[in-house]
Amino acid sequence: MTVWDDLVGQRRVTEALRGAADGHGMSHAWLFTGPPGSGRSNAAVAFAAALECVHGPGPEAGCGECHECHTVLAGSHADVTMVRTEKLSIGVDEVRDLVRRSALSPAGRRSQVFIVEDADRLTEQACNALLKAIEEPTPRTVWMLCAPTVEDVLPTIRSRCRLVTLTTPTTQDVAAFLVRKHGVPESLASYAARASQGHIGRARALALDESTRNRRREVVSYPARLTSLGACMTAAANLAEVTKEEADQLTSELDAREKSDLDAAYGVVERGRRPREYSPALSALERGQRTRAKRRHLDMVDRGLMDLMSVYRDAIAVATGAPGALVNEEIRGDVETVARTSTPELNLQRIAAILAAREQMLEFNVPVALALESMMVALRAPDRARG
């Protein structure tokens, strides 16, 4: 297994990066773009491993076997720094610190690599601090920025980066990866690949976690059941609730760890005295955690909406006789019911209603429960269809 094997469905990207690790077209700044779940940061990490690999520079760089490759992939290599954020933005102080470190020599004999996972979240000041480092590169320092699209990064920065563009992997590529990497049975792998619509992390969760599959099954069962106002209200409440649970599961552990880190930093012990500065620091932490929890919840709702939308897209595909497998092949009966009791025009309107709800929540801060209720009502099967 080389480090390139996990870049799912990205043949051209892999060729370019392998070439660079072999000494062709190397750059000190890279910008990895691609849709969510296409594996931008995985590609950057694989490339970093190839740059540190004992076989590099050369065609074998990124062997996946040597100590360097292993430690980069495990996130513990001294010369590879991964900048991940749970916050909404990456501030100038954090970037200045990185820039200072980038001016030092690497610990090992190769390069030092800084991977910024969410370069689209750099504040303007942070961008300017980073720009200086990229304009006047330190020898043996490589910057790898990751963002959904090139438009998410300031032109002054992207013009100095070599661009790596990932695409949404095909269902076949994702399924093959799940079988090879996780030993998932083929039928399950192909279900997870279809249902994820090319999002690798989501496909992996669907393949490996039964509760994720159950939650999705629940969501895609709504369209065939939205035949009364009561059913719409129930569906809205359910979706709001399960997505909240899922989000809380993700954040509660992190919240607790941050709180205990803060307590340790201020020397706070159970029932002990609290330093004066502790209280404002705790409030700031809790504010940040509430923002993150809300964002996570919205992420989960968003994913539910994408799943819901896929059912109406499938219904349109059935009605228009489009060839190929449905995203929701396993509930083809339900999809056919939706197609029979509606028209492609109506289902396009429903998709528009889903997108409108999404916009209300993400852009206009409409409460989730409220936005989902009016959306579910708009998705309701019309009177004539109910007969």
**How far apart, in whole angstroms, are the C-alpha atoms of residue 18 and residue 284?**
44
Q: Determine if 80 is a binding residue for Zn ion (CB under 5 A).
A: no
Residue 25, Ramachandran bin (φ over 0: left; ψ between -120 and 50: alpha; else beta): left
User: Residue 68's CB: how many other CB atoms inside 10 A?
Assistant: 25
Part in contact with Zn ion (CB under 5 A); list of ranges 20-28, 51-59, 230-238, 285-293: 51-59
Minimum CB distance to Zn ion smaller for 29 or for 115 = 115
Part in contact with Zn ion (CB under 5 A); list of ranges 52-60, 103-111, 191-199, 232-240: 52-60
Q: Determine if 8 is a binding residue for Zn ion (CB under 5 A).
A: no
CB of 318 to Zn ion, least distance (A): 49
Tracing tokens 């629940």 back to the chain, one arrives at 218
9-48 footprint of Zn ion as x/- string (CB under 5 A): ----------------------------------------
CB of 45 to Zn ion, least distance (A): 13
Site for Zn ion (CB under 5 A): which residue of 8, 44, 46, 69?
A: 69
Minimum CB distance to Zn ion smaller for 69 or for 305 = 69
Query: What letter does residue 381 receive in the DSSP assignment?
Result: P
Query: Residue 137: what residue type?
Result: P
The C-alpha torsion from 86 through 87 and 91 to 95, rounded to 10°, is 0
Site for Zn ion, residues 195 to 224, rule: CB under 5 A: none
Number of residues that bind Zn ion (CB under 5 A): 4
The DSSP result for 308-363, as a single string, is: HHHHHHHHHHHHTT--S--TTGGGHHHHHHHHHTS-HHHHHHHHHHHHHHHHHHHH
Site for Zn ion (CB under 5 A): which residue of 8, 13, 31, 66?
A: 66
Q: Determine if 63 is a binding residue for Zn ion (CB under 5 A).
A: yes
Site for Zn ion (CB under 5 A): which residue of 46, 53, 240, 381?
A: 53
Chain Cα centroid distance, residue 115 = 16
255-284 footprint of Zn ion as x/- string (CB under 5 A): ------------------------------
User: Which own/partner pairs from 209-218 qualify as long-range (CB within 8 Å, at least 24 positions apart)?
Assistant: 215/242, 215/246, 216/307, 217/331, 218/242
CB of 66 to Zn ion, least distance (A): 3
**How far apart, in whole angstroms, are the C-alpha atoms of residue 238 and residue 232?**
10
Q: Which residues are near Zn ion by CB under 5 A? A: 53, 63, 66, 69
